[in-house]
Amino acid sequence: MSAVSELIRKEDGGAISFGNHTLDAKAKVEDFDVAGNLYKVKTFKELTKLERDGMFVYESEPGTSVNDFKVMPDGVSFTVCGDEDAMITVGLKEDTEYSVSIAGKNIGRIRTNLGGKLSISVELEGKGEINVKVVE
């Protein structure tokens, strides 16, 4: 999987791909319309951040490239890659427990905080792309 050269794009089935972990300088795209929602992405090698309609959706440190990011009624799923291990935070329902799967392995249940954020560490260095699924 490679970086998203256009920084954000629509995929078949309503998913989006975003981020470019290979950039040395910050880049962003604002007001990217997907099904009536406006997305904003900021990305470079140190950080990738996604907002939908002004609300937090995704953040990684260091930066990552994300493909097939799908928001579902009960969670999110996506494929991620990067040059280094990353701390990924996603915005979900507040104070809710989610089952988290990384690379097909269930890592357990994690509860979001009162702001609805859930953070996970993903080992990316030398691994290529990793599938992540977070569901209630």
Closest CA to 127 of 85, 90, 88, 89: 85
Contacting residues for 71 by C-beta, under 8 A, at least 6 apart: 52, 57
Closest CA to 22 of 65, 59, 52: 65
Where exactly are the structural domains of the chain?
A: 8-135
Closest CA to 6 of 65, 68, 59: 65
pLDDT tens for each residue of 34-44:
989 999 999 99
pLDDT tens, N- to C-terminus, the chain (136 residues): 567 788 999 998 889 999 999 999 999 999 999 989 999 999 999 999 999 999 999 999 999 999 999 999 999 999 999 999 999 999 999 999 999 999 999 999 999 999 999 999 999 988 889 999 999 9
pLDDT tens for each residue of 59-83:
999 999 999 999 999 999 999 999 9
- For the whole model, what pTM was predicted? 0.93
What CATH topology corresponds to 8-135? Answer: Immunoglobulin-like (2.60.40)
